Structure 1
Amino acid sequence: MEVKKKKYQYVDYLWDKEKADQLSGNEVELFLYRSNILGADLRITNYGGGNTSCKTFEIDPLTKNKVEVMWVKGSGGDIGTLTRSGIAGLYVERLQNLKKVYRGIENEDEMVALFNHCIYDLDSKAPSIDTPLHGLLPFKHIDHLHPDALIAIAAAKDGEQITKEIWGDSMGWIPWQRPGFDLGLQLENCLNNNPGIRGIVLGSHGLFTWGDTSYECYVNSLEVIEKASAYIVDKIKSNGVVFGGEKITAAPPEKRISQAAQIAPILRGLCSQENRMIGHFTDSEAVLEFINSNDLERLAPMGTSCPDHFLRTKIMPLVINLTSDEDFSNTEEIIAKLKPQFENYRADYAAYYDNCKHENSPAMRDANPVVIIYPGIGMFTFAKNKQTARVASEFYLNAINVMRGAEAISKYTALPRQEAFNIEYWLLEEAKLQRMPKEKPLSRKVAIVTGATGGIGKAIVDKLVAEGANVVLTDLDNNVLSETQKSYKKDETATAVCDVTKSESIEDAYAKACIEFGGVDIVVHSAGLAISKPLEETTTDDWTLLQDILVKGQFLMAKKGASILKAQGLGGDIIHIASKNGIVSGPNNVAYGTAKAAQQHMTRLLAAELGKHQIKVNTVNPDGVIVGSKIWEGEWAEGRAKAYGISVEELPKHYASRNLLNEIILPKDIANGVYSLVAILDKSTGNTINVDGGMANAFVR
């Protein structure tokens, strides 16, 4: 009989019997299904954390005999998104035979290369370090998970006794040991010494559970986690106080967001001294409970316990010493307050490295913090990209949950610094880092683009995202923004409704960029419209509208953008999408051409002023971008056609025929112009790039 969902309070029961029945008879597909639903609950295991497996009998392609094969999550995978291509298939007998050549724990790293001799499925993902932990246990289905509740018990001072108190003799216990072949042997020995147990708790690490079927394994995992969670909740209720109680009161929500948006670029600049970072911010209830508590000062320096946690968060966070009502009007004063705190953190990290390093340890990595705690406001994380920063935040939240649970039932204990170092600077981990794909040209950069749903604006966003940037799309219509954002993957973009004629709206858009990504590196003002009328038909409303959107909007975007770029201290780019019409004198174009000329000269003025801050300011001049451009959908096309004495349908051919290359100019061509300025021409400022197919009368020099 299938277990009822209501049985579980602290984990999500997600098994869909109808869906599972459709997979019946295919154990590998059922194992993948189990993996995905386990990974969907972050209380069970976080992104990339833990691993799962199943064993089946297959036909050996050489002997044609039945052989037992283990299917297990491969290196670097995530059980929540695991697919067939992300698993490894290995001969179980060969994995067992590795015991015959094992030379002891001091040589266990050499076993990883031998996993390749056990491969059954030639399309296998590279086997992970945890492969023998599954292969040396006899069960058909195995889950290795990192539930917050279990790690809280595993990281408690007397975790072994608590395990026995909760489960009696039905659960095994293994003290902390780094993952590897030897830990697989320890699991095997624990099972042999405790036949009939339903699982094993790994000290400071996580949980192993199993079952004869995928469903039985799933339910076993949920039941063990549920019981641990209930135990911890009862302890918290009986204690009445979490983390020693509240030391400071959290600022109101709007204040937290405002303060976070103002400080994020400063923090980003300080922690990007070696490598530029992308940020993430959270002020969830669980985070605030920890960072505003009396025990923060004691617990934060202890660091995390589970290896998966500190590999992504560093051994400990930086807790900054600022009040929640700090005045950010003077950026230089805030930087002066924070700079020594960052310097102390880096010095402490360097001391940790020097005290723990081995003769063959990799060189010290970036010493800047990943997790930054601002009491009263929230928690920031900084990493090489948005996904990594977000995942680091999720992992530190797991660590907070672990500390809460361990403190409720006993006392929290972190891994000894040497053990932590041995994981962080493990040569196998270093080899994995070295295999990471090369970063894209605009990785670690954040752009904000106005008019981002228009033809040119959307093409610019497409190009920047394709080259690795995170982009904040702004425009007037939230529905259109939401629809446009569907073109991109999670963590690539954010959206903000923005009226470029209003400074408050621009402030909000930049605040969104700072909250979502930590700051801004590239400002692209692409918002615009066009009005083509003879002088006598041009109204003052026409004039004002063009001046407001094109010129005032550019001014306001540059003004706020420059303040953020200066706070970061990392330089940056401001790109203005103007027009050939700002240079060439044409008929029926007085309002539009004048506004475009103003945009172009503002570029030169800003370049002259901002160069000392390594902020480049440049213009891209399109011409005749008809195909895919929204500007040609209205009266502008009719006006230009009338000015040239041709039909609207003849415009693309007309514009192509008049340029030197006889080319139709597309939105993507303008995007390439923007890309060249931000990714290639790193010493170009105050310049204009014409993307018009070659218009001799628009040559700027």
Structure 2
Amino acid sequence: MTATPHTEVAGLLARSNRLGSDPRNTNYAGGNSSAKGSATDPVTGRDVELLWVKGSGGDLGTLTAAGLAALRLDRLRALAEVYPGVAREDEMVAAFDYCLHGRGGAAPSIDTAMHGLVDAAHVDHLHPDSGIALATAADGEALTAQCFGDTVVWVPWRRPGFQLGLDIAATKAANPQAIGCILGGHGITAWGDTSEECESNSLHIIRTAERFLAEHGKPEPFGPLLTGYEALPETERRERAAALAPLIRGLASTDHPQVGHFTDAAPVLEFLSCAEHPRLAALGTSCPDHFLRTKVRPLVLDLPAGAPVEEVRDRLRELHAAYRAEYQAYYDRHATTDSPAIRGADPAIVLVPGVGMFSFGKDKQTARVAGEFYLNAINVMRGAEAVSSYAPIEEAEKFRIEYWLLEEAKLIRMPKPKPLASRVALVTGAGSGIGKAIAHRLVAEGACVVVADLNAESAAGVAEELGGPDRAVPVTVDVTSEEQIAEAFKAAALAFGGVDLVVNNAGISISKPLLETTARDWDLQHDIMARGSFLVSREAARVMIEQRLGGDIVYIASKNAVFAGPNNIAYSATKADQAHQVRLLAAELGEHGIRVNGINPDGVVRGSGIFAAGWGAKRAAVYGVEEEKLGEFYAQRTLLKREVLPDHVANAVFALTGGELTHTTGLHIPVDAGVAAAFLR
């Protein structure tokens, strides 16, 4: 039974969720909120003053009680008496553990001091675009006074930590009329005696800043339009984005494999079409949440929208090499003997005029959120340039935060990535049966999956089961169509940046004796499975070679590829075709690091789309058994006497692609419970 939350906690969660659900108020996982109140100490039975504050890494919009840290307020405030000064303020984070109430809930964040030391019952610290625009304007302090008078006070930039908490507490004490402050280069903090008052004050600061920027801002903050840099028509720009995505993803994955995200949102296209975008992009982002997600600055293509694609590809390679050299130089300029090792010199954001923005991360959500943060940064630049000039914090300060030992410790605490993390898979025939089981296993192991199926409704249903667009997207594809296959891979490129793992699973089965097998039966069987696998593998190879990340192609063949059974000429012949494609492509694609392997299942009756579509009845008739007992019949003719299920085939796909068989290609794995006549020789 779930305990009823403390009244203050319930109010804090409701306020946090409301504030966090509106992107105008704060970015994903950005900012924190708190409430103070009394509760009974279970040891003494006396009331004790507590602070409940959003813990490290949580998101305001989805915050629950489990995401709060609970601390003894008397102990937290007593830390000010032992504070060793700015040079050692990071030590105070470990001291928070000695202030926890009971088990303390979530891990306290670096901003805990701000919430505990400020003399107000409720505190919000947020990262709204409008507030950061004032915070990063060259004359932000004067603009803050112009916008708010003395009700909102300017606090100069200081890295988040204990000293910033002391600064804000002192600012509030010296300005009893103030409802909050603008933190230079960073965001806003507001407070109130009640949760309602605090929320009202937060929204007042955000909305007042929005109105101020709109009323006082110049009409073209990014400068005039650059001829030739205007947004391409939607169809053309998305075609170009799909063509460029695998190359860009490969470049962004030079040091660490990355998943991609693409957006052609109007603010991005507008920014890239204006004259000031190269200058502003080079200045980088300012708010710590922004550049921790987007890196110190993006890679920006310096060619017009209509430049030939091959010229764009060549230039991107040149710019990527320059970016890596510049990032290494940035690291070398600021690293000290105790700095963490460089985490990778590739860009997290790549901007292509006329097309849009590519963002990258360890998984789809991280990549998508990085893009959302850079969109926040564009909004901030627009606001700052509209009323002043954009002046983010100094590069050295950015480095101090990016390579902060506390940030490194947070990264070290993160769970170990799953075996297929950062890999993108495309599975044909994934709307049911074996393909569906494979898609589920790949997502469970960390992959993003493109669910490809002839049945659009089935594909959409499986993608939804798998967790939606951050994990899986559906595509409708007839594998006999070159055009539809090409479109499926374009969809993969736009959704995730490319493809690393392809499973040729789509198929049908026509079970007839030779004399009853028509030429149409033969052609249909071969068009879907032999020709379809060839077409899918060809398109996969194009993408994988462009990415230069290697890859896996897996064929779901059959024990019938080597076993001669009765009344099965069309199906077995096409499976033999697929089996030899494995060997041929393994030999051809090995030089690109692309491994090609096959799986030979047999007797997969339960859960099989093929068997449910009539194949089961026909095979049952051939063997003289009842259809519902066909799985048992197949099991009894095996050496292990075990029925084969779709999940067993999915397990074999993972075995081939999960990282343990890195030196294996051209292999066929039987998943048939042991059929001696189908042993590979």
Q: Answer yes or no: same fold by TM over 0.5.
A: yes
Aligned to 2:399: 421
Distance of 2:162 and 2:315 partners within structure 1:
48
- CA 1:327–1:586 in structure 2 vs 1: closer, same or farther (change >3 Å)? farther
Distance of 1:459 and 1:123 partners within structure 2:
41
**Of 73, 77, 88, which residue of structure 1 is paired with 2:54?**
73
Q: Does 1:699 align with 2:679?
A: yes
Q: Does 1:295 align with 2:276?
A: yes
- Per-residue deviation, 1:533: 1.2
Are the aligned partners of 1:535 and 1:588 in contact in 2 as well (CA < 8 Å)? yes
SS in 2 for 1:430: helix
Distance of 2:518 and 2:99 partners within structure 1:
79
Are the aligned partners of 2:257 and 2:422 in contact in 1 as well (CA < 8 Å)? yes
- Per-residue deviation, 1:336: 3.9
Are the aligned partners of 2:244 and 2:313 in contact in 1 as well (CA < 8 Å)? no
Aligned to 1:16: none
AA partner of residue 443 (structure 1): A
Are the aligned partners of 1:85 and 1:123 in contact in 2 as well (CA < 8 Å)? no
SS in 2 for 1:169: coil
Aligned to 1:456: 434
Aligned to 2:117: 136
Distance of 1:610 and 1:325 partners within structure 2:
33
Are the aligned partners of 1:656 and 1:663 in contact in 2 as well (CA < 8 Å)? yes
Distance of 2:302 and 2:641 partners within structure 1:
62
Deviations 1:516-549 (CA, angstroms, capped at 9, x unpaired): 1111100101111111111222222221211111
Distance of 1:434 and 1:625 partners within structure 2:
43
**Of 335, 338, 345, which residue of structure 1 is paired with 2:316?**
338
Deviations 1:137-191 (CA, angstroms, capped at 9, x unpaired): 1212211000000000010011111111111011111000001100011011101
Are the aligned partners of 2:71 and 2:104 in contact in 1 as well (CA < 8 Å)? no
Q: Does 1:609 align with 2:588?
A: yes
AA partner of residue 436 (structure 1): M
Distance of 2:131 and 2:39 partners within structure 1:
35
Distance of 2:542 and 2:6 partners within structure 1:
62
Deviations 1:558-594 (CA, angstroms, capped at 9, x unpaired): 1110000000111111111111112111111011111
Are the aligned partners of 2:230 and 2:305 in contact in 1 as well (CA < 8 Å)? no
User: Structure 1: which 5+ residue stretches go unaligned?
Assistant: 1-22
Are the aligned partners of 1:277 and 1:383 in contact in 2 as well (CA < 8 Å)? yes
- Per-residue deviation, 1:478: 2.1
Deviations 1:583-613 (CA, angstroms, capped at 9, x unpaired): 1111110111111111111111111111111
Distance of 1:370 and 1:602 partners within structure 2:
37
Aligned to 1:676: 655
Distance of 1:699 and 1:406 partners within structure 2:
70
Aligned to 1:17: none
Decide which moves more: 177-186 or 75-84: 75-84
TM-score (norm 1): 0.94
Decide which moves more: 196-205 or 315-324: 315-324
- Per-residue deviation, 1:324: 2.6
- Per-residue deviation, 1:123: 4.5
- Per-residue deviation, 1:358: 1.9
- Per-residue deviation, 1:24: 11
Deviations 1:333-360 (CA, angstroms, capped at 9, x unpaired): 7654322211111111111111111221
Aligned to 1:499: 478
Aligned to 1:660: 639
User: Structure 2: which 5+ residue stretches go unaligned?
Assistant: none
Distance of 1:290 and 1:324 partners within structure 2:
13
Q: How many residues align?
A: 674
AA partner of residue 154 (structure 1): A
Are the aligned partners of 2:463 and 2:474 in contact in 1 as well (CA < 8 Å)? yes
**Of 355, 365, 368, which residue of structure 2 is paired with 1:387?**
365
Distance of 1:167 and 1:642 partners within structure 2:
83
- Per-residue deviation, 1:327: 4.0
SS in 2 for 1:178: coil
SS in 2 for 1:557: helix
Are the aligned partners of 2:556 and 2:600 in contact in 1 as well (CA < 8 Å)? yes
Aligned to 2:413: 435
Distance of 1:509 and 1:381 partners within structure 2:
21
**Of 456, 465, 482, which residue of structure 2 is paired with 1:487?**
465
- CA 1:70–1:560 in structure 2 vs 1: closer, same or farther (change >3 Å)? same
Aligned to 1:396: 374
Distance of 2:19 and 2:278 partners within structure 1:
34
Indicate the percent of aligned positions where both proteins have the same amino acid: 51
Distance of 2:655 and 2:188 partners within structure 1:
50
Distance of 2:314 and 2:232 partners within structure 1:
23
AA partner of residue 690 (structure 1): P
Q: How does 1:465-614 map onto structure 2 within 5 Å?
A: 465-490=443-468, 491-614=470-593
Distance of 1:251 and 1:394 partners within structure 2:
21
Distance of 2:321 and 2:6 partners within structure 1:
59
Deviations 1:432-455 (CA, angstroms, capped at 9, x unpaired): 111111011111111000011111
Q: How does 1:23-422 map onto structure 2 within 5 Å?
A: 26-236=7-217, 239-247=218-226, 248-328=229-309, 335-422=313-400
User: Aligned-pair RMSD on alpha carbons?
Assistant: 1.4
Deviations 1:29-53 (CA, angstroms, capped at 9, x unpaired): 1211111121111121111110011
Distance of 2:54 and 2:665 partners within structure 1:
49
